[in-house]
Structure 1
Amino acid sequence: MSDNTKKMVRLAMAFICFGSSVLAEEIGSVNTAFVLLGANHKIVIEAFDDPKIPGVSCHLSRAKTGGIKGSFGIAEDTADASIACRQTGVIALSAEIQSKKSDGERVFKESTSLLFKHVQVVRFYDAKRNTLIYLTYSDKLIDGSPKNAISTVQITNSIFEK
């Protein structure tokens, strides 16, 4: 199966499973371990724009398991992920986002195993500091707390919508 075919299958499965979830654009990857049969283990870098806040883009790096299972999309990836988000244009904050309380809002979700494990990104708004906070984590708990990372976007020029 070619890399393009694998990507198309992954995108189709993500669309079927998650409907309106944001799909990331793969920017690149590096191999981290050679695997004799199937794809190598690697770290993938993906980009996505916040679907409700134009002017914010995020880059996510995460581990991708190779081997035969990884080649067919049935391997379970590790919970390792990192995120960096930046202001890339004028930010328009709606009243809905400004009023969102401590539970945040999911802006990205992608499967990292066949059934139950996903990497997610949740957005929070810190009104006191005029800052957006993006948290990435794995939603399957294994031996305690999930691994996580945050990135903040200090809003420097914005439009507050009613």
Structure 2
Amino acid sequence: MKHILALLFLTAASVMANTAHAENIGCVSTTWRVVNNDKVCVQSFKDPDIEGVACHVSYAQTGGISGALGFAEDPSRFSISCRQAGPIVAKKPIPKKQEEVFTQRMSFLFKGLNVSRLVDTENNSLVYLIVSEKVIEGSPFNSISTVPLMPWGTQAPQFQLK
């Protein structure tokens, strides 16, 4: 059992090391509680491999005592919006298959919010998909946002696929 927990921890740490860092934008209370209200929070992150793409994620956060201590499991309700925020420049060749670009824990150990980037070559677009994953069972709740690969001023996108 100790080895399984260590493997889970190392896997989570390696996934989190390869993903973008989020900036907290703010939270809005949705349900009053004596200790720590339930909230909807917004964070922003930039695609770690593609300059010029910014995403905003909103998600539900459980309050109460267990939420304040970090033991509550947040619900699988979220939204994502990604936009071109400057010239699009890929830092490395981008794989045509899905690639995880952002991860956030939604419970102490077993649940995560994950954003993957997919490339829609036929429509010349990047697609960002947000889903909830659990060790045992995921959730069907999801949201997508697309970013068309377009020029920024006079600069064409600099993008190479693997």
**TM-score range, shorter-chain basis?**
0.7 to 0.9
What does the per-residue CA deviation read over 1:62-121, in whole Å, with 9 as the maximum and x for residues that have no partner? Answer: 000000011111110000010000000111236631x423xx000000000011100000
Match of 1:30 in 2: 28
5+ long unaligned stretches in structure 2: 1-11, 152-156
Name the % identity: 44
Which of these residues, 16, 32, 50, is aligned with residue 53 of structure 1? 50
Asked whether the 8 Å contact 2:93–2:160 carries over to 1, the reply is: no
- Structure 1 unpaired stretches of 5+: 1-13
Please give the secondary structure, in 1, of the residue aligned with 2:65.
Answer: helix
What is the number of residues matched between the two proteins?
145
1:11-90 equivalent positions in 2, closer than 5 A: 18-36=16-34, 38-90=35-87
Separation (CA, whole Å) in 2 of partners of 1:143 and 1:120: 14
How do 1:114-133 residues align onto structure 2 when only pairs under 5 Å count?
Answer: 114-133=108-127
**Residues 89 and 141 of structure 1, relative CA distance in 2, 3 Å threshold:** same
* Cα contact 1:139–1:146 (8 A) shared by 2: no
**Cα-Cα RMSD:** 2.4
Pair 1:100-2:96 in alignment: yes
C-alpha distance 119-159 of structure 1, shift in aligned 2 (>3 A):
same
Deviations 1:103-154 (A, max 9, x none): x000000000011100000000111111000000101289885200000001
Q: Is the 8 A contact 1:92 1:161 kept in 2?
A: no
The corresponding residue for 1:159 is 158
